[in-house]
Structure 1
Amino acid sequence: MPDQESTTSWAREPPGRIAVQYGRFARIANRMTVECIVTKGSAVVSSQTSQAEVQSLIDRAVKLGDPKLAADIRQFASTRQYGLVFEHNRPERMRLYGKPVTARDVVQVLPRLGTAESAENRLLWRVSSLHDGKADLYAYVAPDYADNDGEPRTVDVADLVAVSEYDQPIYAGFRETGRVEHGGDKPYQVVINGENYHALEALAFAYAGKVDCIYIDPPYNTGAKDWKYNNDYVDGSDQYRHSKWLAFMERRLKLAKRLLNPADSVLIVTIDEKEYLRLGLLLEDVFAGSRIQMITALTNKKGQSRNGTFARVDEYIYVVFIGSATVVRGFDSMLEATSSAVRGKKPAIWNSLLRRGTHSARWERPKLFFPVFVNETTSTIVGVGDCLDPNANRNDTIPPKGCVAVWPMHTDGTEGCWQMSPEKLKLYLQKGIAKLGNKNKTGQWAINYLKRKQLNEVKDGTIKTVGVDKRGALMLEYASREEVAKQEPRTMWMKSSFDASVYGSTLLRDFLPGRSFPFPKSLYAVEDTIRFFVADKPDALIVDFFAGSGTTAHAVMRLNHQDGGRRHSISVTNNEVSIDEAKKLIKAGHRQGDPEWETRGICEYITKPRITAAITGHTPEGGPIKGGYKFTDEFPMADGFEENAVFYDLTYQDPTAVRLGMAFREVAPLLWLRAGARGRCIMDEKPDWDIADTYAILFDPSRANAFVSELAKAPHVGLVYVVTDDERRFASVSAMLGGLPVVRLYADYLRSFRISAEGANN
């Protein structure tokens, strides 16, 4: 503990501040609920101190010439949790559907057909042996988990599912389940059906440090059973609900961090009010040192009821800027004020001075009832009269010679009022931002002016001035997109295109008639958000590991259509079914893993058909998609996209089989992904080598000389895999390849998954 003097000094500091002391050195920094005391020869780091702050203390101790103190701080901090504190010791276990059960596997027994999941099905067992389609089990007792005191038993292997903890290494592969090819040699949009934690581990082999943008819309933890932890829905009554969610998110964010390009990339996370505070602190811990900003986006003007509190109309978007990442300046502030003009729609510039709607009668606004004098021969405004007394008759007003008095009259003949006072109108006329309009059918002259919206657009260049007419009014027109000054988007997004009901749910039904998905994001909201970070990256790689209905992949294809880009996406989703759908399937005698169950899952029923329909322009039933895209890029949805897509199921491989080359077909898609996800995928081993569009594999290193000669004829190849266990031979082949990136199989593949498992414990 700190000495008495230090303790006394620290105690005098206001709550919610940091006091860091080292002899004469003292520093106080603002941060709520953070206490950190450092004294010579000892260190105390509280559980609320951030990782960045701990490192700062270590750096300062080094600068002060006391390496022992630095070591003390490092040692103490390594034994404590710091940053956002939550319950970490509740393990996350994942069912590995599709993995063949083998001896020594940890498993769970699936519910009997026609019955729902129960606590008994979440007990853990270890397989001692397999025989004749049966498995002998004994109780597997793990710390911090439901104890299993059951007696050994024998069950059908078909009734078992293998289970893995998040920090245990798995070795993933991919099995193709379909593809759509409409894009020539463009990279493929990739969809992976599987547990996203394991999919991220697999992607770390292919894309570590290469991803430009990650966009995710994770479960919001509303308490409405919108996600599962340890194969059980988490509801509002779970006292560990927030800790489970934070642990669940932290593990995936740490893997996501491995994927992002440390020099220039961005993580985008959407959330609502239930977890946004905790998420912000979690992001600060996982991405310590990165710039983080939060945006508020209007997504539903109608509002979602919050049981006696304010109805929610917005969501929050966290943006984590990695390295040198910046927002691409554009033509849209993301406020509704400028969006229409820059997106091709040209609303009227001039507005009627006549007030309409509420409080528009003369008696309600008597100080806004006055005449405007117009010379009808020259069609000019020659003057502005004074406000009339509320009891005065307007017909008693005598206009100047040769002029008529124009009053604010409604079409039904009742007296109204103008939008501004006589003094303000005179000023507007002087500046040329008010003018005489046209006569309507009743012979009434219109008086026009510029509202604040149009004045702002004149100021920012959206509307340009092309001259002054003979009556002194500004001549205005909308600038072309190229002429509008680029600007930084604002942190409040108020765009009608973000309406999740219209451009999420309703739009999805256009592509998949008769099918629904809960709360899909607006296509245009995702498109706009991603654009800020990949507009200047036509070959960007975008990952979404909470892909849901596939909106992110759809948005990436939209962006490519707009500028001819070759961006590609990796979308990871599971094949869960809704609670209501699960009840129907259970009643019909099915359970997860059965074909009848899997066909109704998110990936099979929604994600894959949606992306297929978007590319082909046809619904799953074969008819053309009705309607058209709006806003930035308007064209019929039935036109589809010039894109390619491929669909995979995540598989689980035995590391020994991988090491011996017995699982090549499952590993092959990962090799293709790492090479750029375009062109031919090498799916079969050859006696010597194979050279595809973007990569090559040397299966027999003894043929290296001939391979290198053949490779010289394929300048498009940018990556080489060499299959060998001999490090010296691998180094020799690498030296022969003249600087081409070289990956050793299967050592690098296996090492990648071990690293992911080890990182889960840090």
Structure 2
Amino acid sequence: MSRLTDLIARTKAKDADLGRELEREFKALSSRRAFGLNFERHRPENVELPGRPIRKGDKVRILPERGSTKKGDQRLWKVRSLAGKGAERVASLSLLYTDEPEQAEAPVADLVVVAEFRDYIYPGLVSTGKVEIGGDKPYHTVINGENFHALEALTFTHRGKVDAIYIDPPYNTGARDWKYNNDYVEGEDQYRHSKWLAMMERRLLVARELLNPSKAILIVSIDEKEFLRLGLLLEQIFPEASIQMISSVINPSGAARTSAFRRTDEYIFFVFFGTGPKELPLPVEWRITRDKRAEGLRWDGLLRSGSNTQREDRPNQFYPIFAKEVDGVAVIHSIGETYEGEDRGSVAAPEGAVAIWPIRRNGTEGNWQVGAPSARRLWEKGYLRLGKWRAAETTVSYIKRGGRAKIEEGIFPIVGRASDNSVIVDDSGYNSLFVPGTQWRIPSHSAEQGGTKLLRSFLPARSFPFPKSLYAVEDALRFFVSDLPNATILDFFSGSGTTAHAVMRLNKQDGGKRQCISVTNNEVGADEQGKLRKEGFRPGDEEWEQWGICDHITKPRIRAAITGQTPEGQPINGDYKFTDEFPMADGFQENAEFFTLTYETPVAVSHNRAFERIAPLLWMRAGSVGSRIDSLPQGGWAVADCYGLLTDLDQAAPFSEAIHGKGSIRIAYIVTDDERRFQSVVRQLPETVEPVRLYESYLTNFRFSMGR
């Protein structure tokens, strides 16, 4: 509502009559009782962009003096003009969002560009390094930037193409663990829950555009601070999805809470699009979550239970099974016919045998699971047997269709026969397929062992608060991407890079070529910020940025995981455990590239002046595979491993010929403002190649106000 009232006030200032009319309608709507999750959307977020060059027309904030730990002037100014050169450059400023005009001048060195989320952005990427030991595998990518803007960039490269999203957003503990509009959200902030919801809603709305609508999964981990609100928010944003919440033990000993129970678990929301979790042959630690009888060949009771249990429900399945005792063992003598009479006592059993009828515990007549002919076939094959001898009350068991199929397929090989002719199988090596329950108590999911201590092995001299267990993330994803060897996975709250690490482990286990897109910022921790400011440093300074999450933790962790070496060049000590055990120093046969998000102008883009920063986006849209065209081709066209670029339409013929000669091409980018000539080139391309008109496609994509 705060956003609406702000818009109405601005409208009244320009058109009083229209503003009053909007205000009347707004009051009428707000007087109605609303249902569902209601929260203040607040003023749209803004983000500081340290290091971004100051341009005329930019929105900026004036930084506090170097050495000061004060918050500084939080007002926004617009750059009217720039004068001077180098360190002497000065900006002429006018104050924004004020009724009283105010002008000022400030050294450019004391300004930082601010991007408001209501503004359109035109993103680019600058490479800051790579690791290449994965051959022809696609590249995992790490993007350092504001995650809302990075998500918008991905709407150009991955709209509808993401198979799985795993995020671990800030838990909103009140312990300065996240910022809203450049200010930490404290525990006593009465709007901290609505700020958190507004922050999450904006990002989830954009993330929705990225997910494959036919089959995808969104996984969100959270603790008790926000899980109720998050559940409602997910219901509102994704009404077409199926949503389930898991409780997962991450600290078996429990974390102390003042005047409260110790916290041992956290919650994981699974938002399903299309099919749900896949049955998997899970390792032994998962077996505590299911029926032990499912771990081998299962014999089920022949007496029907559940629904349709009365004799009249299945009259053809009411018949006697004649049995006798031989050397202390109950054996079947024969199987009778369906009985339609009223007095079953009149049915005579063969000499020395008794009749076992389908009688329920309350003494009423029931029915067997199968008819008499089927029961005879089961008996002949050894799939029917009796329990301990109890005369007419002896239990009867059989093997259901699934178990019989495993026997006949050799999964449960027959190694002998019992004295009653029932089969004896070897099921000792069987690892059953199953989907676990909603309570996960898995040792490998311990945040201490699989998170903090494991991360310390990769980055011995560095710390990160509360990293997720590598194995917990790996397991959560496995249920949905085990049958998708080329899946694209996104984590836009990447933090320490656990999700990318987990995807690499999944690839090693089955030879997959899955790729992970990790988005994080280079935020410096609250305590470190105070120390650095006292030393005279600011965001954007090299001495400051080196301690940011992305540069200090995320990138080094992913590099170390691939190479098997710490940032200091030493082999990583220790072994991976659980699903796949091998030395961490072995690393992975994977590729990764690291990028920083940039902000371009539409004029620079449309005039080819920003091509080098747009180039990585074109490469990512084509799959992040193989070579990249990083500069404008001198001959008017170029073809990389998976895409081509045509900048001179007079060269359409050789370009089309090259595309036809390379079966790996997925996309052809054609730079032109002329729709007729664009279509002329398209007609020359193979039908399997997606034509994209640059820069119209790019600019149009980012003219949409997505989620703002």
- TM-score normalised by the chain length of structure 2: 0.76
Shift of residue 222 of structure 1?
Answer: 0.7
**Matches for 1:397-412 after TM superposition, within 5 Å:** none
Shift of residue 154 of structure 1?
Answer: 1.1
Shift of residue 152 of structure 1?
Answer: 2.0
Residue 129 (str. 1) matches residue 74 (str. 2):
no
Residue 218 (str. 1) matches residue 169 (str. 2):
yes
CA distance in 1, matches of 2:285, 2:581: 20
- Name the structure 1 match of 2:282: 332
Q: Secondary structure, in 3 states, of the residue corresponding to 1:506?
A: helix
Shift of residue 202 of structure 1?
Answer: 0.5
Residue pair 1:124, 1:148 contacting (<8 A) in 2 also:
no
Q: Secondary structure, in 3 states, of the residue corresponding to 1:685?
A: coil
Q: Which residue identity does 2:573 align to in structure 1?
A: K
Residue pair 2:83, 2:89 contacting (<8 A) in 1 also:
yes
Residue pair 2:79, 2:94 contacting (<8 A) in 1 also:
no
Residue 541 (str. 1) matches residue 488 (str. 2):
yes
Shift of residue 111 of structure 1?
Answer: 2.1
**Matches for 1:463-502 after TM superposition, within 5 Å:** 479-480=428-429, 483-502=430-449
- Name the structure 1 match of 2:570: 623
CA distance in 2, matches of 1:464, 1:606: 51
> Deviations along 1:482-526, whole A, 9 cap, x unmatched?
x43311221111100000011100000000111110000000000
> Deviations along 1:229-265, whole A, 9 cap, x unmatched?
1111101111110111001000000010010011111
> Deviations along 1:31-83, whole A, 9 cap, x unmatched?
xxxxxxxxxxxxxxxxxxxxxxxxxxxxxxxxxxxxxxxxx9xx989x99764
CA distance in 2, matches of 1:735, 1:601: 49
Shift of residue 467 of structure 1?
Answer: 6.0
Relative distance call for 1:463 and 1:633 in structure 2 (3 A) is farther
- Aligned-pair identity in percent equals 52
CA distance in 2, matches of 1:116, 1:465: 76
CA distance in 2, matches of 1:469, 1:622: 62
Q: Which residue identity does 2:277 align to in structure 1?
A: V
Residue 250 (str. 1) matches residue 201 (str. 2):
yes
Shift of residue 89 of structure 1?
Answer: 3.4
Residue 525 (str. 1) matches residue 480 (str. 2):
no
Q: Which residue identity does 2:692 align to in structure 1?
A: V
Residue 272 (str. 1) matches residue 223 (str. 2):
yes
Shift of residue 334 of structure 1?
Answer: 9.1
Q: Which residue identity does 1:709 align to in structure 2?
A: E
Residue 725 (str. 1) matches residue 646 (str. 2):
no
- Name the structure 2 match of 1:743: 692
Q: Which residue identity does 1:194 align to in structure 2?
A: G
Q: Which residue identity does 2:68 align to in structure 1?
A: T
CA distance in 2, matches of 1:268, 1:97: 32
- Name the structure 2 match of 1:614: 561
- Name the structure 2 match of 1:321: 272
CA distance in 2, matches of 1:273, 1:192: 29
Residue pair 2:79, 2:91 contacting (<8 A) in 1 also:
yes
Match of residue 37, structure 2, among 69, 81, 84:
84
- Name the structure 1 match of 2:585: 638
Residue pair 2:660, 2:686 contacting (<8 A) in 1 also:
no
Shift of residue 150 of structure 1?
Answer: 8.4
> Deviations along 1:713-743, whole A, 9 cap, x unmatched?
2121111000111111111111221322011
Match of residue 297, structure 1, among 248, 256, 273:
248
CA distance in 1, matches of 2:186, 2:428: 52
- Name the structure 1 match of 2:48: 95
Q: Secondary structure, in 3 states, of the residue corresponding to 1:743?
A: strand
- Name the structure 1 match of 2:542: 595
Residue pair 1:463, 1:478 contacting (<8 A) in 2 also:
yes
- Name the structure 1 match of 2:660: 712
Shift of residue 105 of structure 1?
Answer: 1.3
Relative distance call for 1:169 and 1:466 in structure 2 (3 A) is farther
- TM-score normalised by the chain length of structure 1: 0.70
Greater displacement, 717-726 / 540-549? 717-726
**Matches for 1:542-557 after TM superposition, within 5 Å:** 542-557=489-504
CA distance in 2, matches of 1:721, 1:659: 14
Q: Secondary structure, in 3 states, of the residue corresponding to 2:433?
A: coil
Relative distance call for 1:157 and 1:337 in structure 2 (3 A) is same
Q: Secondary structure, in 3 states, of the residue corresponding to 1:121?
A: coil
CA distance in 1, matches of 2:53, 2:60: 11
- Name the structure 2 match of 1:284: 235
> Deviations along 1:75-112, whole A, 9 cap, x unmatched?
989x9976421111322111123322111211111222
CA distance in 2, matches of 1:624, 1:333: 28
Residue 574 (str. 1) matches residue 574 (str. 2):
no
- Name the structure 2 match of 1:108: 61
> Deviations along 1:128-172, whole A, 9 cap, x unmatched?
111114344445343xxxx69684221111211111221211111
CA distance in 2, matches of 1:516, 1:341: 40
Q: Secondary structure, in 3 states, of the residue corresponding to 1:648?
A: strand
Shift of residue 332 of structure 1?
Answer: 3.0
Greater displacement, 103-112 / 543-552? 103-112
CA distance in 1, matches of 2:447, 2:278: 24
Q: Secondary structure, in 3 states, of the residue corresponding to 2:434?
A: coil
Q: Which residue identity does 2:57 align to in structure 1?
A: R
Residue pair 1:189, 1:644 contacting (<8 A) in 2 also:
yes
- Name the structure 2 match of 1:180: 131
Residue pair 2:282, 2:432 contacting (<8 A) in 1 also:
no
**Matches for 1:415-430 after TM superposition, within 5 Å:** none
> Deviations along 1:267-287, whole A, 9 cap, x unmatched?
110000100111011111111
- Name the structure 2 match of 1:695: 643
Residue pair 1:696, 1:721 contacting (<8 A) in 2 also:
yes
Q: Secondary structure, in 3 states, of the residue corresponding to 1:558?
A: helix
> Deviations along 1:392-424, whole A, 9 cap, x unmatched?
xxxxxxxxxxxxxxxxxxxxxxxxxxxxxxxxx
Relative distance call for 1:136 and 1:277 in structure 2 (3 A) is same
Residue 154 (str. 1) matches residue 109 (str. 2):
no
Shift of residue 641 of structure 1?
Answer: 0.3
CA distance in 1, matches of 2:647, 2:449: 53
Q: Secondary structure, in 3 states, of the residue corresponding to 1:736?
A: coil
Relative distance call for 1:597 and 1:628 in structure 2 (3 A) is same
> Deviations along 1:192-218, whole A, 9 cap, x unmatched?
111000000101100000000000000
CA distance in 2, matches of 1:148, 1:230: 22
CA distance in 1, matches of 2:412, 2:524: 50
| Long gaps (5+) in structure 1 | 1-71, 347-429, 433-457
Residue pair 1:136, 1:152 contacting (<8 A) in 2 also:
no
| Long gaps (5+) in structure 2 | 1-24, 296-385, 389-402
CA distance in 1, matches of 2:124, 2:198: 25
Residue 230 (str. 1) matches residue 181 (str. 2):
yes
RMSD: 3.3
Residue pair 2:286, 2:436 contacting (<8 A) in 1 also:
no
CA distance in 1, matches of 2:102, 2:628: 49
